[in-house]
Amino acid sequence: MIRLLTSAHDSVFNALQTHVGPWLPGLLARFTFAAVLLVYYLNSAKTKVGEGITGFFSIDDGAYFQMLPKVIEQFGYDATQVPLFPYKLIVFAGTYAEFILPLLIVAGLFTRLAALGMIGFVFVQSFVDVTGHHVDAETVGAWFDRFSDSTILDQRTLWVFLLVYLVIYGAGKLSLDGLLLAKRR
């Protein structure tokens, strides 16, 4: 009886893995990213640039307050005094990465690199929240406690897990990466 059950179990789940494994998990990971994080990151990035189409190409002073609060304080809260290297370059790269990387993930283009970049982004974002914005202990949270709603250790751990999946397994066959791979073969 146990052999029959394990055989049935193996047959069902091996067939499932064979038929949907190459395309569904990557698609679901990218859909989940789009549903939960795409608008969050695009709206956040939008607060770092000027208004309108031409404003997209200029970094707003608020970007420095968000990304480098201690640095902007060091320069008397005057973004024009912040040196190009490395600080303005960091703000420029961080701002446009916040636009580009999420779009690449959702499109499934260069997904592994984009997800790796987003992992770095989440770690830097969390570090700045803790050390620069001095978020409270409740916002930081704790692992292995009875609460699962802290912003940093609970939510961002799940974000990073989703991104790690994409780094390891990629976007799947139903993606621009999958299309490019099929063309190369």
For 139-182, write each residue's pLDDT tens digit. Answer: 999 999 999 999 999 999 999 999 999 999 999 999 999 999 99
Could you give the residue ranges of the DSSP H alpha helices within the chain?
2-20, 24-33, 39-46, 52-55, 61-67, 69-74, 89-107, 111-131, 137-140, 156-169, 176-184
Residue 114 has pLDDT above 90, yes or no: yes
> How many angstroms separate the Cα of 55 from the Cα of each of 39, 78, 113, 116, 143?
19, 19, 28, 28, 41
Note the pTM of the prediction, 2 decimals: 0.94
Which of these, 58, 91, 57, 55, lies nearest to 72 by C-alpha position?
91
CA dihedral 47, 53, 54, 58 (to 10 degrees): 20
Mean of the per-residue pLDDT values of the chain? 96
Q: Are 131 and 153 in contact (CB under 8 A)?
A: no
Q: What is the C-alpha separation between 173 and 24, in angstroms, rounded?
A: 8
Inform me whether the pLDDT recorded for 185 exceeds 90: no
Calculate mean pLDDT across residues 101-114: 98
What is the number of other CB atoms lying within 10 angstroms of the CB of residue 44? 16
What is the rounded distance in angstroms from the CA atom of residue 91 to the CA atom of residue 49? 11
At 54-89, the pLDDT tens digits run 999 999 999 999 999 999 999 999 999 999 999 999
